[in-house]
Amino acid sequence: MIRSDVLRDIAPVIRDHLVVCNIGLPSQELHLLDDQPTNFYMLGTMGLSSSIGLGLALAQNKKVISIDGDGSVLTNFGTLPTIANNVADNYILLIIDNGSYGSTGDQPTYAGKKTSLTAVAKACGCETVIECQASETKDVLEKALASNKMTIIVCKCESGNIKVPVITMDPVVIRDRFMKAVQA
């Protein structure tokens, strides 16, 4: 399974929750598969999906799922200690780890080589860290949502992309629609 297969699988699970989605293809794929007002699409700013999601989870009570990638977590490595030390039990960080920078041509990341993001997250102090295979992601995510515990999920999947159009929605429209969904 590649990332878009994982997103297709989990779409029915994340639809009812606030989702902050990573820059580039992940946002474009989610937008194509299941556009929802509860989705915040990042159009730029690589690395900050986990930070935006954590800030959102700390500011209000609804459940928040940050969809991130291994490359983006590597870009903003400082996020993991911040998450570990500011526990929000309404927060799930889903790292779709395909071992590559998918949006830029599938160049390999260090997470696909010697570096284990699961081990790093644990070493940073994150208490509930689950590594799973792509096909298990939906089940693991459902259980994490039901547990009401802050959870980091590292989903190991294959590298690869589908053809998707860019998101042309204005960023202020994305933000306004999302904030209305947060308040609803």
Binding site for another protein (CB under 8 A): 20, 40, 42-45, 47-60, 76, 78-79, 81-82, 86, 171-172, 174-175, 178-179, 182-183
Q: Are 130 and 152 in contact (CB under 8 A)?
A: yes
Closer to another protein by Cβ: residue 146 or 172: 172
Q: Are 38 and 60 in contact (CB under 8 A)?
A: no
C-beta of 133: minimal distance to another protein in Å? 29
Closer to another protein by Cβ: residue 76 or 159: 76
How far is the C-alpha of 38 from the C-alpha of 19, rounded, in Å?
A: 6
C-beta of 70: minimal distance to another protein in Å? 17
Residue carrying the six token digits 């007002």:
37
Distance of CA 39 to the CA centre of its chain: 11
C-beta of 98: minimal distance to another protein in Å? 22
C-beta of 80: minimal distance to another protein in Å? 9
If one counts every other C-beta atom within 10 angstroms of the C-beta of residue 20, the result is 26
Closer to another protein by Cβ: residue 119 or 169: 169
How far is the C-alpha of 44 from the C-alpha of 42, rounded, in Å?
A: 6
> Rounded to the nearest 5°, which phi and psi values hold at 70?
-65, -40
Closer to another protein by Cβ: residue 122 or 177: 177
